[in-house]
Structure 1
Amino acid sequence: MNDKRACLDINEIFDLFTFSYTIPIEFRDIVKTAINRYAQPYKHSKETLNRMVNKATSPLDTFKYLGTKKEYQFNYSQWKGHLAEWIVCYEYNSIRNNGNVVFTFLNPDSSSKADILHIIKVGERYKYIAGPDIKTGQAAYLINQLEKVWSHEGSIPFYDFYNILSDEKKLTKKHIFKLNQLKENYPQKVILTPNFNSEEILKFSNKFLRRVANQQTGPTASAVKKARQYARDTIPKKREWTAFNYDAHLKYSFEKQQETIRRNAELKAQKLLEEVMKRNRSAPVNKKSKPMEWLAEMGTKIAKSKPVKFVKDHPEIIEPFIVVTGEVLRSALRVSKSSKTSGIEQKDVKSPLTDHVPQSKINEEFTRKSPVKHPVTSYTRKDGTPVRGYLRGKD
């Protein structure tokens, strides 16, 4: 398993969370064995196992848990707990899995401690491995569950979804003592945490709810009702879990590619900026600053002053401003054109900032010219003073 950084972007992966997924037929027998291996507290019958492995499951199913305890009081904790399993499943398939892992999927047995399962290939044979017990909640509950998993569940890992147990600010002295005690008793055990931070997870959950409800703004209660209704009425298209694994990994690889393009463009723009500044010694720039930061700094200075006067007083900033802005725009266009996940046709947009403009021409445009000589008719000022007609401007 890898430990790489990833982005939980609703725009990139929303489509993955709208299908329903089935276990490929060739893996169903081994999945039956895996389910009973980690079943709690009893093994399942043959009929129950067949029903489990043949059933399709979807992230939209999580909305049935978003019921109400009281009027307008929705059970977010339960819903987010089930959605967490899908987020972790996406995380494994996109960035954690490597080598001989074929795919990772949600355990069809919702009562099992192993919330997700892995299918791996060893030689010419396939094997199953237990995924983690994914937990959300407060520190006391997490520590209680951690003790149960580490002491009774064998090879099942423990997954702290919101990374609570590593934040001492959220733990009491009693919590810390108990946690340290468990770590001493089980030195080979580890607490798994997500590659995504809590802010990303909460943002994704909220946007997923809103996107399914097709309601970007408005009362949360209304969005919940719409999302639940949509989830009940929708029959998602079926795909196999191998497709989920493939697409999740592909989206992460594409995301890495786009980040590389953006980073290279920024480095190139920085190099161009430094080269321009060498020719304009009167306008030194901090070499550690990034092009976007430099543009923001210049933009702020211009905005706080009289734009025409500022540019006239500082003509040395014009050329680097154009170079850097043009490079940033070109970079944005390249990334936009190469996007494979957008269904919108990208058009070739040409900006005047991307073309070379002589500095003399810009200085001329920023200089206010006197109007051509013309007559001004007589008029009366607001204070009642009459003003005779006169000629204004130059020949």
Structure 2
Amino acid sequence: MDIDELLPFFTQSYSIPIEFRSIVKTAINRYAQPHKYHEETLNQMVNKTTSPLDTFKYLSTNDGCSFNYSQWKGHIAEWIVCYEYNSMKNNGNVVFTFVNPDSSSKADILHIIKVGNFYKCIAGPDIKTGRADYLLNQLEKVWSHEGSIPFYDFYNVLSDEKKLTEKQLNKLNQIKNKYPKKVILTPSIKHQEIIKFSDKYLRKVANQLTGPRASAVKKAKQNARDTIKKVRPWNQFNYDTYVKESFEKQVERLRKEKELEIEKQLYEISNRQQQVLKQNNSKMNSWLTKMGKAIVNSPIGQYVKDNKAEIIISAAIRISSTIINTSTSKKPKNKESGVIQQSPEPTPNIQIKDEYTRISPINEDDYTRKSPIKHQVPSYLRKDGTPVRGYTRGKD
């Protein structure tokens, strides 16, 4: 509930259309508690205009200083439910819903419905706010009323049975068993949104967004009295709120459809990317396999295969030579005699793994090879630093 969008509906005044006033008077007396009204009183009720701004008078108490915030929220709850019915719940033969001019009635709101070619005014729910014990007492009174008035749990207290004590839960079940065909009505608007709306509405009317609540209440009461309210018929209220809510639902529907379409497109793009990645991986694996086979079948691969034993022996000789040279170069001398102390030769731990062994480059002077396949040897330096030009070697 956006206060900025709903504020126009909650600062205007509403009247019962003339053609419906007769049936409304009948309904008021039907649900009146405990006595019926005279015709003059009924005429005053149906002819007067009412506004949500009128609820601010309930913030005063007898001392004129403090205020009854809970009582005010109970009265503003009737207007919130009235808005909810007109904008969201009314359908079929319901013409419009309005706040009952009789503030002492058990039926806090009334419905105008069409039955054939005629109209009828029937009771809406008794809207209750408060704690569980109070609600349970009121629930039994409302359901036992002869007018079959629905019960509306505005803050959805009784529906959460986990928050009720064992005694409260037993009483609730007893009442439900006594009236098995009746149900507790609850709002379609979230609890937190209702609380926020009430607080923001008070601040908006007070034109004071911050500061002490007592100061805001004082200003809200004064502004509510001074506001010149635009008078509109209740059926227009029903139409305007319904159009607004329908428009918002349409916008919300289009927004969700757009989000779903975007999600679908992203999903399809992701699938295509995965398919391309799989194809690329497959092509890469195929290419590597072909390259591996080509290398194995090439002259170089054949040479390595034919001379594997010599390559491994040469690598072993180089490693062994390096170990021996290292160990002999680090023999310590005896400081007193000057004799070199002999230390046991370390046993080289050489592990050779066939074709997986990483080998060092092999110089021409290391050993005598078999004649390889004819190929070009690039220029290089001998161990003694002598440069050697490139040449062709091997046989066809």
> Structure 1 length normalisation: TM-score?
0.67
- Alpha-carbon distance in 2 for matches of 1:47, 1:273: 69
User: Cα deviations across residues 307-326 of structure 1 (Å, max 9, x unaligned)?
Assistant: xxxxxxxxxxxxxxxxxxxx
The question of 1:152 aligning with 2:145 is answered yes
Displacement of 1:281 after TM fit? Answer: 4.3
Matching of residues 60-79 of structure 1 within 5 Å = 60-68=53-61, 73-79=66-72
Query: Which letter does structure 1 place at the counterpart of 2:15?
Result: T
The question of 1:11 aligning with 2:4 is answered yes
Q: How many residues align?
A: 277
Matching of residues 110-149 of structure 1 within 5 Å = 110-149=103-142
Which of these two proteins has the greater Rg computed from alpha carbons? 2
Assess if the C-alpha contact under 8 Å between 2:12 and 2:231 holds in 1. yes
Displacement of 1:217 after TM fit? Answer: 2.2
The question of 1:253 aligning with 2:241 is answered no
- Alpha-carbon distance in 1 for matches of 2:58, 2:235: 26
Assess if the C-alpha contact under 8 Å between 2:31 and 2:147 holds in 1. no
Range with bigger deviation, 220-229 or 115-124: 220-229
The question of 1:233 aligning with 2:233 is answered no
- Alpha-carbon distance in 1 for matches of 2:65, 2:121: 42
- The change in CA–CA distance for 1:73 and 1:172 in structure 2 (over 3 A counts) is farther
Extract unaligned runs of 5+ from structure 2: 278-396
The question of 1:36 aligning with 2:40 is answered no
Range with bigger deviation, 101-110 or 219-228: 219-228
Q: 2:166 aligns with which of 168, 173, 184?
A: 173
Query: Which letter does structure 2 place at the counterpart of 1:232?
Result: R
Q: 1:210 aligns with which of 174, 199, 203?
A: 203
The question of 1:267 aligning with 2:260 is answered yes
User: Cα deviations across residues 95-127 of structure 1 (Å, max 9, x unaligned)?
Assistant: 111011111111111111011110111111001
Matching of residues 343-382 of structure 1 within 5 Å = none
Assess if the C-alpha contact under 8 Å between 1:14 and 1:208 holds in 2. yes
Extract unaligned runs of 5+ from structure 1: 1-7, 285-395
User: Cα deviations across residues 83-105 of structure 1 (Å, max 9, x unaligned)?
Assistant: 00001101111111101111111
Q: Which residue of 1 aligns with 2:337?
A: none
Q: Secondary structure at the match of 1:110?
A: coil
- Alpha-carbon distance in 2 for matches of 1:215, 1:279: 56
Assess if the C-alpha contact under 8 Å between 2:107 and 2:124 holds in 1. yes
Q: Which residue of 2 aligns with 1:108?
A: 101
Root-mean-square deviation (CA), in Å?
2.0
Displacement of 1:221 after TM fit? Answer: 2.0
The question of 1:22 aligning with 2:15 is answered yes
The question of 1:224 aligning with 2:209 is answered no
Q: 1:196 aligns with which of 172, 189, 207?
A: 189
User: Cα deviations across residues 152-203 of structure 1 (Å, max 9, x unaligned)?
Assistant: 3431111111011111243111110111001111101111111012101001
- Alpha-carbon distance in 2 for matches of 1:170, 1:154: 31
Q: Secondary structure at the match of 2:229?
A: coil
Assess if the C-alpha contact under 8 Å between 1:69 and 1:75 holds in 2. no
How high is the sequence identity, in percent, across the aligned residues?
71
Query: Which letter does structure 1 place at the counterpart of 2:7?
Result: F
Q: Secondary structure at the match of 1:109?
A: coil
The question of 1:97 aligning with 2:109 is answered no
User: Cα deviations across residues 233-289 of structure 1 (Å, max 9, x unaligned)?
Assistant: 1121100000110011111101101101211221222233234434544999xxxxx
- The change in CA–CA distance for 1:69 and 1:44 in structure 2 (over 3 A counts) is closer
Query: Which letter does structure 1 place at the counterpart of 2:24?
Result: V
- Alpha-carbon distance in 2 for matches of 1:283, 1:63: 67
Q: Secondary structure at the match of 1:120?
A: strand
Q: Secondary structure at the match of 1:74?
A: coil
Displacement of 1:75 after TM fit? Answer: 1.3
Assess if the C-alpha contact under 8 Å between 2:49 and 2:231 holds in 1. yes
Query: Which letter does structure 1 place at the counterpart of 2:191?
Result: S
- Alpha-carbon distance in 1 for matches of 2:218, 2:264: 53
The question of 1:54 aligning with 2:47 is answered yes
Displacement of 1:32 after TM fit? Answer: 0.6
